[in-house]
Amino acid sequence: MSELYERIVLERVKRPRHAGRPAQFDARGQGANRLCGDKVSIYVTRAGMQLHHESEGCAIMVASADLMVDATTGKTAADIHALAQAFAEVVTTGTENPALGELNALAGVFEFPSRIGCATLPWRALEEALQNV
Amino acid sequence: MSTTLQTFDTAALREDFPILKEKVHGKDLVFLDSAASAQKPRVVIDAMVHVMEAQYANVHRGLHYMSEKTSDAYEAVRDKVAAFINAGSRDEIVFTRNATESINLVAYTWGRSALKPGDVVAVTEMEHHANLVPWQMLRDAHGTELRIIKITDAGEIDWNSLEEVFADGRVKLLAVTQMSNVLGTYTPVERLAKFAHAHGAKILIDGCQAVVHRQIDVRAMDADFFVFSGHKLYGPTGIGALYAKAEILADMPPFLGGGDMIASVSYAKSSWAKPPHRFEAGTPAIIETIGLGAAIDYVSAIGLPAIAAHEQALTEHALAVLPNIEGLRILGTAQDRGGVISFVMKDAHAHDIATLLDRQGIAVRAGHHCAEPLMGRLGVTSTARASFALYTTLEEIDALAKGLERVRKIFA
Ligand SMILES: Cc1ncc(COP(=O)(O)O)c(C=O)c1O
């Protein structure tokens, strides 16, 4: 069975660390996958770039959102943009990037071309949120 | 195992389908997605190759040997389709690309000529988008009304809702599936046709799923329109059919304009060919049509009653085995149902189920199955779906159950 589901991914799905809508936030970005009904909202709180996600969907998307928040909290918009690109590279090629730390847990998604969009959906929502800040 | 399954030689039939020998991720292919599109037997593949190698030319145009031969082969399939669904005449069979195009053809031509603004088209909550969106488009373009007949929690047509929708006498068309591609429910089409006719409405039956599993008799069911796609019936993509009663077709204006659909053409005015050619503009899917003919011959030789009995045994087995998996819920409990089974699992999203099964070589569909409003009615955003065909085995259903058990453990 795929190691993708056995690594960190499921841990994050069962016990997400950053799930939920914060009481106050400065911007929100949303992503939806029309095909499978996945939905994600990313909330940005400007002070120190605090992020939260509200996700409803498959394990890959939910885990990706939770790991993304870890990787991006406190970063600048420019850093985040670079991370998003590096992450997209990892999930489309399957080649891990040492600079990405735990995000590499999703590298295995490249084996499932139809699921790459699930992994990148929270990142697209985050980019949208940053434009709204 | 039932006696039917013993007399139905699945192992031998599987030999007819070259793709079933393929491996997926190093595992035997367990193909449980035939409701989306069925695999093709060797005879269909060979028939299509043969046309291209030995008797190909455009149809209805050439006065030469190859064209005449190809036209004969092409038109012979019209007879096969007519016989297969027991149409009264070959001229009641219009070739289209698929069921979707057949329904759009009816909505566009019959809908805009026979229906008046304010007339009502009624569909059910369990239609495929193909039998919903064309009627929305007609509503928006032509001013007809669209009404939705409810289904019960079991996934059957809610007869009270049907009567309510018809109560003011304005319904002029009931467009309904004969078998749900999500719930597997068969609808009582003969009864529905009687009901529609008694209320002054015509009935269009979406036979896309049903035609694969049951003997169709459009005259016995008294269908005004009946549509299906070749690719679900073990035939190729790109060919489908529309059956309509001759007197209805006679009054329908053309759909697309061009070659083959005309009687005569001048700059001032053109006149239309008689049905069915009036509705077949341009060079048709010649090779695919001949492939469909081979598929119909193949299915007919095995016999739909035998196929139906085989699939019924598979369905009963699946309905007995799958609910044993903790947290798995099958959607729909219709009395009369076939081998299309949608389910959800606690904690595991349908797409994760499909991906994890795929790694074990098992192909199921996951998503909204082109029935988004039905997903809403069922209170889910997507489901996983296993569907059976004449080549499906009991062992494959056991493999599915085993695979799902592993999925459950991963998410437990
Ligand atoms: C019930 C039903 N109607 C219509 C369709 C549309 O068929 P096609 O895409 O071949 O036009 C399908 C296919 O998924 C179906 O299952």
Selection from B139, B210, B226 nearest residue B175 by Cα: B226
Cross-chain Cβ contact B356/A115 below 8 Å: no
Q: In this structure, are B28 and B50 located in the same domain?
A: no
Closest CA to B405 of B320, B336, B335, B326: B326
The stretches of B55-178 forming alpha helices (DSSP H) are: 65-84, 99-105, 111-114, 133-142, 159-166
Question: Quick one: B396 and B322 in the same domain?
Answer: yes
Q: Is residue B391 situated within a structural domain?
A: yes
Cβ of A36 within 8 Å of Cβ of B360? The answer is no
Final residue of a domain: which of B300, B325, B340?
B300
User: Do B312 and B170 share a domain, yes or no?
Assistant: no
Q: Which of B245, B273, B300 is the last residue of a domain?
A: B300
Which amino acid makes up residue B320? A
Beta-carbon contacts below 8 Å between A and B = 53
Of B268, B300, B332, which marks where a domain is finished? Answer: B300
> What CATH number is attached to the domain comprising B124?
3.40.640.10
Structural domain span for residue B208: 46-300
Mean pLDDT value across residues A67-92: 92
Q: Please check whether residue B101 lies inside any domain of the structure.
A: yes
Portion of chain A with pLDDT greater than 70, in percent = 92
Question: How far, in Å, CA of B386 to CA of B159, rounded?
Answer: 28
Is B370 noted as a catalytic residue in this protein? yes
Residue B3 lies in a domain: no
Residues B132 and B186 in one domain: yes
Residues B212 and B361 in one domain: no
What's the distance, Cα to Cα, between the start and end of chain A in Å?
41
CA distance B355 to B368: 16
Q: What pLDDT band is residue A2 in, cutting at 50, 70 and 90? A: low
CA-to-CA dists, residue B190 to B82, B148, B217, B221, B248, angstroms: 19, 20, 10, 4, 19
Same domain, B278 and B308: no
Which residues, numbered 334 to 393 in chain B, qualify as contacts with chain A under a Cβ-Cβ cut-off of 8 Å?
347-352, 355-356, 358-360, 366-368, 375, 381-382
Pair (B17, B88) in one structural domain: no
Same domain, B197 and B333: no
**Residues B68 and B55: beta-carbon distance below 8 Å:** no
**pLDDT at position B176:** 98
Element (H, E) at B4: helix B3-7
**Which residue among B347, B355, B382 sits closest to A115, beta carbon to beta carbon?**
B355
The rounded average pLDDT for each run of 10 residues, N- to C-terminus, in chain B (412 residues) is 59 97 94 98 98 93 87 97 98 98 98 98 98 98 98 97 98 98 98 98 98 98 98 98 98 93 88 94 96 98 96 97 96 96 93 92 92 90 95 98 94 82
Helix (H, G, I), strand (E, B) or coil at A23: coil
For residue A25, the CA-to-ligand 1 centroid distance in Å is 44
Of residues A13, A41, A14, the one with CA closest to residue A25 = A41
CB B44 within 8 A of CB B19: no
The answer to whether residue B4 is domain-embedded is no
pLDDT of residue B5: 46
B168 and B267 together in one domain: yes
Class in CATH terms, A2-131:
alpha beta
What are the boundaries of each domain within chain A? 2-131
Residues contacting B243, CB < 8 A, separation 6+: B81, B85, B87, B92, B93, B94, B218, B223, B225, B226, B227
User: In terms of domains, do B170 and B288 share one?
Assistant: yes
Nearby residues of B310 by Cβ (< 8 Å), 6 or more positions away: B4, B5, B8, B10, B390
B128 in contact with ligand 1, CB cutoff 6 A = yes
pLDDT the model gives residue B7: 65
Tell me whether B411 touches chain A (CB under 8 Å). Answer: yes
Residue B137, chain A, CB below 8 Å: the answer is: no
State in Å: Cα B105 to ligand 1 middle: 15
The residue-averaged pLDDT of A6-11 equals: 75
Q: CA B412 to CA B408: how far, in whole Å?
A: 6
pLDDT, residue B388, reads 98
CA distance A11 to A100: 18
Distance CA B120, CA B173 (A): 7
> How close is the nearest chain A Cα to the Cα of B380, in Å?
9
Q: Which residues of B touch A2 (CB under 8 A)?
A: 355-356, 359
Does one domain contain both B17 and B161?
no
Residue A112, pLDDT above cutoff 90 = no
pLDDT of residue A39 exceeding 90, the answer is no
pLDDT band at A57 (very low <50, low <70, confident <90, very high): confident
Residues B70 and B160 in one domain: yes
- pLDDT, residue A47, reads 63
- Give me the pLDDT at residue A1, please: 47
This model of the complex carries an ipTM of 0.82
Count of domains forming chain B: 2
